[in-house]
Amino acid sequence: MHRHNPVALHAAIFPYLHLIGRPLITSAQMKHLSNFDEWSHDLLDQFNFIGTYNLFYNASLLVKAGAGIALTYEHLIDTAGENRLVFRPLNPELT
C-alpha cells in the first residue's frame, strides 16, 4: 500500500478491521481461491475489489498513484528506503 495510507500505520492487516470498504487490487487468481474466502471469514462480499492484476508491477503503479491497496506476497517489489510503497502482513497469515 502507499506509505501514506492510514492502514499503513498498523503492523498487520486484519480482514474485518482494515479491508472492508477499502479499494482492493488483487491477483486474478486470489479472488477465486476458496482459502481467501475462508481466511476472510466469509467477508469476501463486503470487500471492494476495484481491479485484478497478472503482474504485480502493474498493480504497484496503481497503488503508487493512490488508487487502492494491493494484496500480494512479500518481496515482490522493493519497499525499502524512499519508496512510496510499504508491505504489511495479513493476520491471520494467509499461505
Question: What is the reported pLDDT for 94?
Answer: 79
* HSE-CB for 42 with a 13 A CA cutoff: 0
Domain ranges in the chain?
A: 1-95
State the Cα–Cα distance between residues 50 and 47, nearest whole angstrom.
9
Query: Among 12-21, 22-31, 67-76, 83-92, which stretch is predicted with the lowest mean pLDDT?
Result: 22-31
**pTM score of the predicted model:** 0.88
Mean pLDDT of the chain: 89
Cα dihedral across residues 73, 77, 78, 79: positive or negative: negative
Instruction: Count Cα neighbours of 56 within 13 Å in the Cβ-side half-sphere.
Output: 14
CATH code of the domain made up of 1-95: 3.40.190
Q: Return the amino acid letter for 32.
A: H
Q: State the pairing for strand pair 69-71/48-53.
A: unpaired
Cα(80)–Cα(35) distance, integer angstroms: 30
